[in-house]
Amino acid sequence: MHTWLCRHAVGEPVDYAARAVALGLKEIAFTDHSPMPKYFDYWRMLLEDLSTYVEKVRVAQKQFPNLVIRLAMEVDYLPGGEDWVRELAKMYPWDFFIGSVHYVSDTWAVDDPKELSKWKERDPYEVWEAYFDRLGMAAQSGLFEIIGHADLPKKFGIYPKRDCTAMFERFLDIAKKSGVALDINTAGLRKDCKEIYPSPAFMKLAAARQIPITFGSDSHDPIEVAMGFDKAVEMVRGLGYTHYCRFEQHRRLDTKIGD
Ligand SMILES: [Zn+2]
Ligand SMILES: [Zn+2]
């Protein structure tokens, strides 16, 4: 879940926590967009706000002692940016990092509505391929416990005409080998694609490899907390998943779905 500190979400950590308690959740995690060393784009935390973020999460932890609140971040994977992620990792006692690819080049984030026109200049298959190449590198980097919204390029409903199964399998084989979990992310239900990230077809291939999963609402507003989780649970149960995982100080805790 995000907070207003990333400059495109609303709400304080305590607001999200209050909503989670009202819904009867036992555990939540803050995973706001990680800062870059210098100004990078308009939709992430600024480095000077990082300590405020951590303090605000700690305030929520104190205010809601019966709710487990993990301190984490959603960190952009950029080739060559690994040292910065290592630096961030050392700054605070994070529970985990979600590794996400938004950028398929130095300047284009495929999910940015302000850059939607760029899709018209590119073959969707090539964009998806560039994206999944980077996602494989993210999984392989060993920097992340979870890979975020694995089929994000579908956000605007723009799909390659060619079959992507081999592309997905290449990534999933790397994911399996590197031990990352996949984020079952319900934000997709609220976008043009109207589908959970990743798709059922993608998750069928993941289930065959027994790749662990986490549940995420990717909330950018307290009202979105746990939104679509019923559909997420239904989807993964249908694929044979009985467990999901949580992370505490980088340690994976496997938990029965429903517990
Ligand atoms: Zn965001
Ligand atoms: Zn993201």
Instruction: State the distance from the centre of ligand 2 to the C-alpha of 183, rounded, in angstroms.
Output: 10
pLDDT higher than threshold 90 for residue 90? yes
- Could you tell me the CA-to-CA distances from 82 to 143, 158, 229, 243 in Å, in that order? 8, 30, 32, 30
- Which pLDDT band, with edges at 50, 70 and 90, does 193 fall under? very high
Q: What are the structure tokens assigned to 258, written together?
A: 């429903």
> Cα of 31 to ligand 1 centre, how many Å?
10
Q: What is the mean pLDDT of residues 151-178?
A: 98
Judge whether residue 22 has pLDDT over 80: yes
What is the Cα–Cα distance from 205 to 201, expressed in whole angstroms? Answer: 7
pTM of the predicted model, to two decimals?
Answer: 0.98
Q: Which ligand is nearest to the CA of 149?
A: 2
Ligand nearest to the CA of 75: 2
Distance 240 CA to ligand 1 centre (A): 30
| Confidence at 259, pLDDT banded by 50, 70, 90 | confident
Quote the pLDDT of residue 257: 97
Q: How many whole angstroms from 189 Cα to the centroid of ligand 1?
A: 15
In the reported structure, the alpha carbon of residue 118 is separated from the centroid of ligand 1 by a whole-number distance in angstroms of 19
